[in-house]
Structure 1
Amino acid sequence: MSTRYQLGDDESHEEKIDIKALLKMLVESQTKQAETQARQTEFQARQVELQQQIIEILKNTSIATDNHEKQDKNIGGDSAEKKENTDTAAIELEEDDQWLIDGRDGRLYKALRDNDMETVKKILNENPEVFKEGIPHGQLTALHLAIFLGRDIKIVEKIIELMPLEILESKTRHNGYTACHFAAIYGYPEAAKAMVKKHSKLTQIRDALGRAPLELAFEFVTTAQKKIVEYLYSKTRNENPSPFSGQDGVRLLHSAIDANFYDLASCLVKRFPKLVMEKSLKTDMCALELLVRKPFAFPSGVQLRWWQKRIYSKIQVDMNSVYVQPAEPSTCQSSECTISLEDNPPASSEAYKTEDTPSVSSTIKKGIFNRYSTLAPCVENIKNLKLMHEHASALLKDMSTEILRKKESEILTFFDNNPDIIKLTIRHGLIEVILQGLKKFGHLVRYRLPHQMMEIAIAERNEEIVNLLWERCDSRGARINLVSTTDKDGNTILHYASKLAPSDKLNSVSGVALQMQREVQWFKSIMRETDRFKRNKKGDTARNIFDEEHKDLLKKGEDWMKDTSGSCMIVAALVATVAFAAVFTVPGGYISESHSSLNGTPIFLGKTSFTMFMIADAVALFSSITSVLMFLAIYTSRYSANDFLTYLPRKVIIGFATLFISMAAILTAFSASLSIVAGGRFPGAPIPIAVFTSFPIILFAWLQLPLFYNMVRSTYCASILHDHKYIL
């Protein structure tokens, strides 16, 4: 019989609780909590144990067992950093195996740790069996340890010299790494050269995951990695099982692109062109898609300052010495793997425009500039950037050539299977990629993959590519077809222009009002009379979609306009008040002789500074009142979408201009008035007064001029499809 307990005095709200059931639930909850806590404690203890094992290997201290307590105390803040910066998969030493490094007393490990070459040679000569013993559980040989510890190359070469060939092929137990894999991981090209010189098959041996040393070298990108990648690439042979064929070759090509080694990737494409069309099973991407996902690899994907552009155009880069001669001359000769600068001129954001041949004098100047460019770190960085752009452009040309030499049906199938290539290319504004595609296969502009390039360019708001596609259509009929087609949902290009621009494109325009103006400009520029009332399959016109997509932006633009005009109107009103009052309180006062004909005339009326005061005060009053009227008109506008095209921006421009004039004029009037008052006693006063007066004017111009300039440029110099008379 269970015990029950009643809560509360009100019988209509009584709640009965089974105390036994409650106690049972409480006990079960505490039991589960205790089990969970025990598992967490066990996991933490295991984690600490593993951390201690790794740190004991990494610390260059004694490994004797009597020093373990001291090492445990020193485990601290730098342990996490060392654990993150080290390939833990390659560290397979265990705590109980340290003293077994030479089978007896750990002398070889100590000698390697201390970089003691004489002791290493002595131990190796006295006990050749040490090559075979190594670390029993991890199966790390003395050569593994020497490379891992980064010992002197002379010690490494001595170990390689004494080590039998079969021991050179020894692999670690868990990952199957040979010493050559270790050299590839840790960027030790000298050790790799010594090993491959003695045993050439090391470059072909795979680890537990089927990766050759070359592939591992690509995965670990460090300062020294490029040299060992180039060396292993030159020594890795294309023989069965080849690391350059199938998915192994695709992984190599993708790894080269990921590591920004575009020169080596270009060599791979030249030697094994089939890799370009194949997808990676891991990423489900082809090499071209991976390349277009790295917009910074091309000039059009990098925003440089004006001075950086000047330096960029002056620097010359030499790619002839960068590419590596592979081990099979018959497969890839040096002439095939070397791209000359003449074949790939420096690219720019207007790469599709033809440039004139440089003169001899300009070439000499560029050569002199290039010679001394390395003296400045910023110039060296720009030089490296340009070299990377040249390599990436060469790689793009090689891949495009391979893809576009296929039949038309194969090309369309390739882009159908990789639809993101065109979309990403247009989104990032990679003019170079579009140029290569249209140069080899001009019909690409009219195919749906699944959308036309023009539709994607308009949806992504990429003006440069829209202009480029329009210019590539060399006939009126082709241009009509380009803008008159509809997609499977019945959308015209006007429907694409009516959608809200991507956030990154909107954020590139300063001010919500200018963002709304830009959207209206796109919509008006694309509009054709025949498309105005066309409905898609959902029954929506482009105007309906535009109003729905932009209602939030329209509201934000209205709030921005009202806040800006309200603030500026207050400032303009204050200036007008001060300018009006200054007329009746002129500096120096008036002549007060009742019997004189000059009674009521300003005392300093004949002075130049007084004339300047009167003119500046009048200008300040009139311009401030004009500014107030302009901002008042903005404040009371209806704020329709079309108003943001020219009506509202024009009033903001006039209001800003007159406000700036009024502030400059009132400061000038103050300066003239102060000169009149203080000029008689301090003859040099006008100069500092004029200097200090200019500070607020310069500050106002510095803070507000960018917005004013952007608004003028966007309103009166908009270049969206300005040459496309048919669309307009």
Structure 2
Amino acid sequence: MNPVSIEIEEAPLLDSNGEIKQQMDLNFFKAASAGNSEPFKDMERDVIERLLTAKAKNTILHINIISSERENVSTKFVEEILEKCPALLLQVNAKGDTPLHLAAKFGHFEIVRVLIERAKLAQRGDEEPESGVEPFRQMIRMVNNEKNTALHEAVSQGNVDVVKILTREDPGYPYSANNYGKTPLYMAAEYENRSDMLRGLLENRTSASFDMVLALLENSTSVSHEGPNGKTALHAAAMRSFAVDTALPKLLEKKKNLIKETDQYGWTPIHYAAYYGNYRTVNLLLETDQSASNIADKDRKMTALHLAAGKGDARTVERIISGNPKCYELVDNRGCNFLHYAMVSFHVGQLRNLLENNPLARSLIDEGDAEGNTPLHVLAAVRPKEFHDVMNRSTQANYDAVNKQNVSVRHVFNYGYTELKEEIQKLSKDVGRGQYSKGVIRIRKVRKYVTKEDYKDTRASHLVVAALIATVSFEAAFTIPGGYRSENGTAILRRNKAFQAFIVADSIAMVFSLSAVFTHFLMAPKIEKTKDFNQGLLHASIWFTVFAMGAMVIAFVTGTYAMLVPSLGLAIITCLIGLSFFLLVIWISCL
């Protein structure tokens, strides 16, 4: 790892009144950065204390720690300078950082160990400190301008070894929150370094987040778990998708009581897990305490089930209902049950499956909200074109049910319901007091349908392309590369691998292009009988044509290669030019 780069600045020499006395020789800065203590051996102690950089107010000890390589750190300079000038141990820079803060932040475990040992030596022979706290613990507990201790700094960077030594050396200190409202345990629970986690999974080892949480919970006797806005470390873990493999199990083991703790919005950890779609986290929380899913938030009285339904997470909805069936009928402050939300956010297939296979969900189909709108009112208002795809004959429902404005489901389906649709649109953009970062509800895009006019405009061009590919493929099969043997009519290149690949690719192009033509043939009667039709068949014909194009390119490349193989260079160039078609397709797809 390369040394941390810092801006070299002229450092003034300050007197006792803080006035600039003279400029520090730039060589001192370079010597400290390189770990060379020779220039400082003959200096007086008070002079070394006053060697500070102009802006950051870093001492030579700060400079050395910042400049040290993490993978090859040396403690020699630190030991020699502290031997000569012990006061630098607790001297802070402009940000309030002690050398320990910086060593913890940059993960210099050996330097951290030396600093703590040096602080312990300073106490030997002294009387019991007036505060009752040893000097080395005072150093560990010192906070900078952001109210971060060295432990905060170590956790923020995922420096596990430093976290372990700091928690072992001062196990009884609870560590308060910093300026951002975060304690070290909260920071460890929310820490997410994806490369570290993936590497841990591949190498079958634990992640930094897990190791830090473990060290804090096992080494500290009174560790605090608070975070910003009333959150706890368990909230932080529930928001992280990887936490179920890292911090979450250990937190539940040691601090199970946090599962029902709410933040300033009234959200429990399971609220966050459901909102962010962390299915495995929801599953683990329900296994620990299923009753946590009954808790509603403060603003909208929404449970985790409402949130999962609002985000369109069918799997989490089913898990919550199966784990705690009692919560299925709970309503929010608008009187909406979870099915009202599901009607907006679920896929058609998910809705149909929910209503057909879950009797609890099916029983809510005619339950009205505070305005009398049933889930069917919502479906008809927001997704009228998909209404009958969802409501098949097996689902019994009252289409004549009316709301408090005397508007029936049937009326909404036939004429729309602007007021209800606009209300749902607002929910999709409402972030509340900031807890709904992606809106209260996710509106599922209505599946597009192709009109008769749309189809007629595209059908002719699609048919021409598909028919042309079929024609070319058919002709290529009988005008093969290399020709035939006159005596028996067999292909001259029949044993050539490239020729064999040509025949296979040409056959595939032929089949796919004819499939595209046949699909258009099937759609023709449907377009005459219905005003709108599902574009599934049109999509199928398009993909058939695309695959036929790809197969035709491969046929061209392999056939050309089979004939030009005696001129290998030309054959390779021709193949590369032909295969550039696929690069073009990928590029266009990414636009």
TM-score between both structures, scaled by the size of structure 1: 0.48
- Equivalent residue for 1:489? 334
Give the counterpart of 2:378 among 541, 545, 556.
545
1:163 aligns with 2:85: yes
Change (3 A) 1:421 1:199: same
Superposed CA offset, 1:63-115 (max 9, x none): 799xxxxxxxxxxxxxxxxxxxxxxxxxxxx994553x6xxx88855754665
Superposed CA offset, 1:673-720 (max 9, x none): x9xxxxxxx9x9xxxxxxx99x999989x979xx9xxxxxxxxxxxxx
Change (3 A) 1:560 1:499: same
Question: Quick one: distance in 2 between partners of 1:666 and 1:177?
Answer: 67
Superposed CA offset, 1:562-592 (max 9, x none): 86885465232454589799999x989xxxx
- Equivalent residue for 1:257? 189
Question: Quick one: distance in 1 between partners of 2:156 and 2:508?
Answer: 69
8 Å Cα contact 1:246-1:275 kept in structure 2: no
1:244 aligns with 2:77: no
Question: Quick one: distance in 2 between partners of 1:266 and 1:416?
Answer: 27
SS at match of 1:499: helix
Question: Quick one: distance in 2 between partners of 1:465 and 1:273?
Answer: 36
Give the counterpart of 1:398 among 224, 227, 250.
250
8 Å Cα contact 2:12-2:51 kept in structure 1: no
The structural deviation recorded for 1:433 is 2.0
Give the counterpart of 1:199 among 119, 123, 135.
119
2:175 maps to amino acid: F
The structural deviation recorded for 1:458 is 2.6
- Equivalent residue for 1:120? 40
Question: Quick one: distance in 1 between partners of 2:94 and 2:554?
Answer: 82
Report 1:616-695 matches (<5 A): 623=515, 625-632=517-524, 648-649=535-536, 651-652=537-538, 655=541
Change (3 A) 1:451 1:637: farther
1:233 aligns with 2:167: yes
Give the counterpart of 1:536 among 355, 369, 377.
369
Superposed CA offset, 1:598-627 (max 9, x none): xxxxxx9x9899xx9xx9999899756532
8 Å Cα contact 1:500-1:549 kept in structure 2: no
Question: Quick one: distance in 2 between partners of 1:121 and 1:269?
Answer: 44
SS at match of 2:368: coil
Question: Quick one: distance in 1 between partners of 2:471 and 2:34?
Answer: 87
- Equivalent residue for 1:130? 47
Question: Quick one: distance in 2 between partners of 1:582 and 1:175?
Answer: 74
Structure 2 alignment gaps of length 5 or more: 121-134, 193-207, 356-360, 385-442, 480-485, 492-502, 567-573
1:538 maps to amino acid: E
Question: Quick one: distance in 1 between partners of 2:219 and 2:280?
Answer: 23
Question: Quick one: distance in 2 between partners of 1:583 and 1:169?
Answer: 85
- Equivalent residue for 1:58? 7
1:189 aligns with 2:109: yes
SS at match of 2:175: coil
The structural deviation recorded for 1:425 is 0.9
- Equivalent residue for 1:217? 153
8 Å Cα contact 1:253-1:268 kept in structure 2: yes
Report 1:103-118 matches (<5 A): 111-112=31-32, 115-118=35-38
Question: Quick one: distance in 2 between partners of 1:246 and 1:696?
Answer: 62
Structure 1 alignment gaps of length 5 or more: 1-54, 66-93, 299-388, 502-518, 589-603, 675-681, 685-691, 708-728
SS at match of 1:545: helix
Question: Quick one: distance in 1 between partners of 2:33 and 2:509?
Answer: 84
8 Å Cα contact 1:532-1:542 kept in structure 2: yes
Report 1:381-420 matches (<5 A): 389=245, 392=246, 395-404=247-256, 406=257, 412=260, 414=262, 418-419=266-267
Report 1:557-572 matches (<5 A): 557-558=448-449, 567=458, 570-572=461-463
The structural deviation recorded for 1:252 is 1.6
1:292 maps to amino acid: A
TM-score between both structures, scaled by the size of structure 2: 0.57
1:441 maps to amino acid: D
Alignment RMSD (CA, Å):
5.7
1:228 maps to amino acid: V
Give the counterpart of 1:290 among 236, 246, 249.
236
- Equivalent residue for 2:99? 179
8 Å Cα contact 2:235-2:268 kept in structure 1: yes
Larger Rg: 1
The structural deviation recorded for 1:140 is 5.8
SS at match of 1:231: helix
Give the counterpart of 2:216 among 235, 253, 268.
268
Give the counterpart of 2:315 among 464, 471, 477.
464
The structural deviation recorded for 1:204 is 2.3
Percentage of pairs with the same residue:
16
